[in-house]
Amino acid sequence: MTLDIRGSLKNTRISKNPLVVVDELLANSIDAFLIRKRDEADAVALEVTLKVKATKADLLGEVFELEITCEDNGCGLGPEQRKAFLTKDTSYKDDLNIPGIGKCKGTGRVQFFHHFTAVSLSSTYREGDGFKHVSLPFLRDRKTIEETDFTVEDRDTGEVGTHIRLSHVVPKLRETILSVASVHRTFTAEAIRQHVLFNLLQRFVSLKDDLGDFRIKFVSDLGGNKSEKTLTPADIPEHTSVTSITVEHVEGKENVSADFTITHYKLDETQYPLPRNIIGLCAKASIAELITGRYLKTKTLENNAIDGHYHIVLIEGALLDDGVNEQRDGFDKIPLDDGSGDLFGGMQITFEDIFSVLDDKVQELITPPDWSRDTIVKDVAKDFGVSEEMLSYSNTRVKFGDTPNEVAKRVLTNLQEQVVNETSSLSAMKEAIKGLAPDSDDFRRKIDDLSWEFASSLKTIDMANLSQLVVRRSALIDVLDLAVKQGLNVQTELPDGKRRKNEALIHSIFFPMRKDSEEVSDHDVWLLSEEYHYYDYIASDMPLNQIKWDNGQSLFEADVDDAVGELLNRIGEENGGCRPDIALFHEEGSVVIVEFKAPGVSLDEHDNDLMEYATLLAAKSNGRLKKFYGYLIGDTINPIRLRGYNRLPGENGFFSTDDVKEPKSQATLGQLYSELLFYGDVVDRARKRIGVYRDRLKLPPL
């Protein structure tokens, strides 16, 4: 019999677990003890001593030698055990029929040679009434191990058990998982004890009666830093709960299912000061893959107690036992999301199936009772404009451990998938835009949601913030265009006898009526000019005497609203109860006045309104306001009746620049730049501005 070391290394990948050799040594020691207990009547308890020693191999301490030894009181390396040791794909343990013994293919020892160039051992076992001692001498870089490489001697007495020694680190690992820094961090006695306790926790629990009053000692000597720790039955915690789940994979009328067990340990941090929380998929009673990061999204959550407790959640099942890979560091045999199988394999349970059931159960176990989902939802809405309705629409769940950033990304990803899967695209968005009502309370939230939905179809999340702004504004321009053309559903689906409210709807697109920026922080006066988006205060049909200047004083004299009322009564009966439709104020002393006229009302009949407003506001502000920008917007004009206005280049509107003068003294109070605009021109201007950004982002035309 021969163990081909080079062939085994070529056909078995190195494990991703840096402590895999420790796991394999202890697993073999436990198995050897269970075999001894079956064969002997004496009531002994498991005894294992695992030692790690690191010594400097150069003066600077940048190169070292690492040695790991494991001594146990198992059955020893008898003929059957030696035969199994020399057979890579062995079924030796499968046929022993000993409860709790590990099932394996003999690939664990290959990890010894992946990490170390020298493996030697010394063992004593019983044979009849006597003892035999077997040894494999120290030799570096073996290519094979033959049965003749073992030395077997008779002994009159002896302590049954095995002592195995791993030494001389494989050179390429000195700079990676077995570097000086990683060894000093990972191979301390306490670190190894913690790893063994929780990586083999389920096995210790299931074998509690079989292992007796066991004692596992860990000794480390890392460059002179020595420490020693022990593991006994008193250190094994009781589980908090055990839950069974069934997972199905369904295709048409056919389905397959698998059962799993979730064992939860909720441990008081004062009694179990662990380095981290652990959520793992197990195979053969040992953790084969950690999935903690799936549920605890940050290292802070993962590495600290949650509400005073550390959590260990272990998932087991026959499917995991069968699906684990040879290195026992993953489940390569279980598909991620395609369980259709092939001609011979048939349907399979996938990890997508497993997590669809497992996720809710694990979240229930680790979520503290005082955690608030509402807090995260509010932060997501504030930071990213993602509303509760968007979370629901995109089927995005908010779980303990989520950050607002992660939730927003999931919303965008889920919406992107929905756009692809449902082929919902621009035509659907246009129909949604057509159904918006600008004067409704949730108009701006709905347009934000629509813009996020479309922005989610972009290829990268990094573009999302700018893209959402561009898409949102594009959508708003479409709403304005439809409102001007009376194409919104709210304009066409009127109950009998109800008057159209076209002017009010257009007004609401720019800013909600009878509100100010103290109540509503968001507005869309950028439709006229981008700089107006940054004015300090905006009011829509609000009393002007309530406006405060930067020092808290009133901007206008107390009778300003009475004066405005008199002015409006002169302008026309239909405006008798109104104030300037929209007024924006800036601390530098400028004000923007926007007046909307209902479709069919000719602008030339009101071209002097802007000057009258400007004159009144300048006079009543005690000289604080001097720069006036006025906009009179409608859809009809008779150019012959205009005086003092010039046509805007390339557009249908008109503009003028005039001094604002005190009527009696003719003293100059300020200056007014005014424009008479068609609603269509406002739409075209805004569309051209946003078109530059759409081109840069390569967004399709709306």
Q: CA 378 to CA 466: how far, in whole Å?
A: 21
More confident residue, 464 or 52: 52
The residue written with tokens 């502000």 in the block is: 621
Q: With respect to residue 467, please indicate whether it lies within any of the assigned structural domains.
A: yes
The two tokens of residue 581 are: 């439709």
Q: Output the pLDDT for position 88.
A: 73
Same-domain pairing of 18 and 33: yes
> Do residues 555 and 622 touch, judged by C-beta distance below 8 A?
no
The two tokens of residue 6 are: 């080079």
Tell me the Ramachandran region of residue 259: left when phi exceeds 0, alpha when psi lies from -120 to 50, beta otherwise: beta
Q: With respect to residue 506, please indicate whether it lies within any of the assigned structural domains.
A: no
Model confidence over 466-479: pLDDT tens digits? 667 777 888 888 89
User: Which residues neighbour 53 within 8 Å (Cβ) at sequence distance 6 or greater?
Assistant: 66, 67, 68, 220, 221, 222
Confidence band (pLDDT; 50, 70, 90) for 456?
low
> Do residues 353 and 339 touch, judged by C-beta distance below 8 A?
yes
Q: Looking at the predicted structure, is the pLDDT value of residue 218 above 70?
A: yes
CATH code (residue 63)? 3.30.565
Model confidence over 489-506: pLDDT tens digits? 888 776 665 656 788 888
Tell me the Ramachandran region of residue 110: left when phi exceeds 0, alpha when psi lies from -120 to 50, beta otherwise: alpha
Q: With respect to residue 617, please indicate whether it lies within any of the assigned structural domains.
A: yes
H or E segment to which residue 453 belongs = helix 443-455
Model confidence over 270-307: pLDDT tens digits? 998 888 999 999 988 889 999 999 999 888 999 999 99
User: Which residues neighbour 199 within 8 Å (Cβ) at sequence distance 6 or greater?
Assistant: 19, 23, 286, 287
Range of the domain at 352: 241-366
Model confidence over 179-190: pLDDT tens digits? 888 888 899 999
Same-domain pairing of 259 and 167: no
Q: Output the pLDDT for position 567.
A: 53
Q: Looking at the predicted structure, is the pLDDT value of residue 572 above 50?
A: no
Q: What percent of the chain has pLDDT over 90?
A: 34
> Do residues 501 and 598 touch, judged by C-beta distance below 8 A?
no
Q: Looking at the predicted structure, is the pLDDT value of residue 220 above 90?
A: yes
Q: Which of 10-14, 34-38, 213-217, 380-384 has the lowest mean pLDDT?
A: 380-384
Q: Looking at the predicted structure, is the pLDDT value of residue 315 above 50?
A: yes
The residue written with tokens 């197990």 in the block is: 282
More confident residue, 541 or 642: 642
Q: With respect to residue 666, please indicate whether it lies within any of the assigned structural domains.
A: yes
The rounded Cα 684 to chain-centroid distance in angstroms is: 40
Q: CA 692 to CA 451: how far, in whole Å?
A: 18
H or E segment to which residue 84 belongs = helix 79-85
Q: With respect to residue 504, please indicate whether it lies within any of the assigned structural domains.
A: no
Mean pLDDT score of the chain, rounded to an integer? 83
Q: What percent of the chain has pLDDT over 70?
A: 84
When mean pLDDT is compared over 87-91, 494-498, 675-679, the highest value belongs to 675-679
Model confidence over 404-424: pLDDT tens digits? 888 888 887 777 666 555 444
Same-domain pairing of 441 and 337: no
Q: Output the pLDDT for position 462.
A: 44
Beta strands in 190-253 (DSSP E): 215-222, 225-231, 241-251
Q: Output the pLDDT for position 581.
A: 81
Q: What average pLDDT does the segment 637-658 reach?
A: 89
DSSP track, 585-613: EETTTEEEEEEE--TT-BGGGGTTHHHHH
The residue written with tokens 């990213």 in the block is: 384
Same-domain pairing of 159 and 251: no
> Do residues 480 and 450 touch, judged by C-beta distance below 8 A?
no
Same-domain pairing of 321 and 392: no
Q: With respect to residue 422, please indicate whether it lies within any of the assigned structural domains.
A: yes
Same-domain pairing of 224 and 258: no
User: Which residues neighbour 205 within 8 Å (Cβ) at sequence distance 6 or greater?
Assistant: 236, 239
Confidence band (pLDDT; 50, 70, 90) for 574?
very low
Q: Output the pLDDT for position 586.
A: 82
Confidence band (pLDDT; 50, 70, 90) for 256?
very high
Q: Output the pLDDT for position 237.
A: 92
The rounded Cα 699 to chain-centroid distance in angstroms is: 26
Q: Looking at the predicted structure, is the pLDDT value of residue 217 above 50?
A: yes
- The domain tally of the chain equals 4
Q: Looking at the predicted structure, is the pLDDT value of residue 578 above 50?
A: no
Q: CA 667 to CA 672: how far, in whole Å?
A: 14
Question: What is the bridge-based pairing of β-strands 590-596 and 627-634?
Answer: parallel
H or E segment to which residue 155 belongs = strand 151-155
Q: What average pLDDT does the segment 159-163 reach?
A: 94
Same-domain pairing of 317 and 406: no
- Bridge partners of 261, per DSSP, are 244, 316
> Do residues 237 and 202 touch, judged by C-beta distance below 8 A?
no
Contacts 24+ apart (CB under 8 A), 523-529: 524/473, 524/476, 525/582, 525/584, 525/592, 525/594, 526/473, 526/686, 527/476, 527/477, 527/480, 527/682, 527/685, 527/686, 528/592, 528/594, 528/631, 528/682, 528/685
Same-domain pairing of 563 and 579: yes
Same-domain pairing of 304 and 220: no
Same-domain pairing of 94 and 68: yes
- Bridge partners of 430, per DSSP, are none
Model confidence over 118-131: pLDDT tens digits? 999 999 999 988 89
Q: With respect to residue 133, please indicate whether it lies within any of the assigned structural domains.
A: yes
More confident residue, 390 or 65: 65
Q: Give the C-alpha distances (Å, rounded to integers) separating 34 from 24, 81, 135, 336.
A: 15, 13, 22, 36
Q: Looking at the predicted structure, is the pLDDT value of residue 335 above 80?
A: yes
Pure H helices in 547-673: 560-571, 609-620
Same-domain pairing of 246 and 163: no
Neighbours of 226 (CB within 10 A): 12
Same-domain pairing of 328 and 296: yes
The residue written with tokens 């004083």 in the block is: 553
Q: Looking at the predicted structure, is the pLDDT value of residue 621 above 70?
A: yes
Spatial CA neighbour of 629 closest among 654, 653, 594 = 594
- Bridge partners of 135, per DSSP, are 122, 151
Confidence band (pLDDT; 50, 70, 90) for 46?
very high
Domain boundary among 347, 366, 385: 366
